[in-house]
Amino acid sequence: MAGSNPQQNTRANGARSSNERSDNGNNSHGKSSQPNNQPPKPKKHKPEPKSKPWGYIYIMAMRILPFAIPIVVLMCFTLILNLPMPLKSPKGRDDDVLLHLKLAHESILAEDWVQALAHIENAEKAWAMVIPRIQIGVQKDDIGNLTLSLVRLKASTQCMDKPGCLRELAESFLYWDEIGK
């Protein structure tokens, strides 16, 4: 019987009731359920490794590299700025500033001015050898202060001024200890 009446067939097959149209035409959010005419967005393509073990290592290296470079640079700066402490240590007897200052101190206490002057000149030569090694990580004022102290010590020794020499020696020892801290 379904096929005998063409009006019923049309209604049964093609025509829908108003309830059916409202349910099917619009979804629950008020947006049309018809497909959008815009082309689909392309998916991001992840790089495929060329060969399995080395390809994954390459991919991981490319992910880690942007973080590793700044860390390595900061570590290098930290290393350079902390180098003066080991670099101010003597490499031989010629560049041992502290030894020459101690010998000058003993000579001044004994009032042996010629020997004290020789030790102070050796300390100046040793200091001139140490300056290029430590100048990157040390403040310019620290280098200038110790140099000035050695010059004043030499002048006090030439005048045979024992209190002035002891004062300048104490200041020189203090500046030497402060370098690289």
Write out pLDDT tens, residues 76-128: 888 877 776 777 778 888 888 999 999 999 999 999 999 999 999 999 999 99
CA 156 and chain centroid, separation: 45
CATH number at residue 157: 1.20.120
Expressed as residue numbers, the domain containing 154 is 86-178
Distance CA 52, CA 48 (A): 9
Residue 44 falls inside a structural domain: no
> What are the pLDDT digits (tens) for 33-70?
555 677 767 776 666 655 666 777 888 888 888 888 99
Please state the pTM of the whole predicted model.
0.59
Q: What is the pLDDT of residue 78?
A: 85
Number of structural domains the chain divides into: 1
Question: Side chain identity at 102, as an amino acid letter?
Answer: K
What would the DSSP string read from start to end of 65-105? Answer: HHHHHHHHHHHHHHHHHTTHHHHTS-SSSTT-HHHHHHHHH
Q: Specify the higher pLDDT residue, 37 or 12.
A: 37
Does 154 fall in a domain? yes
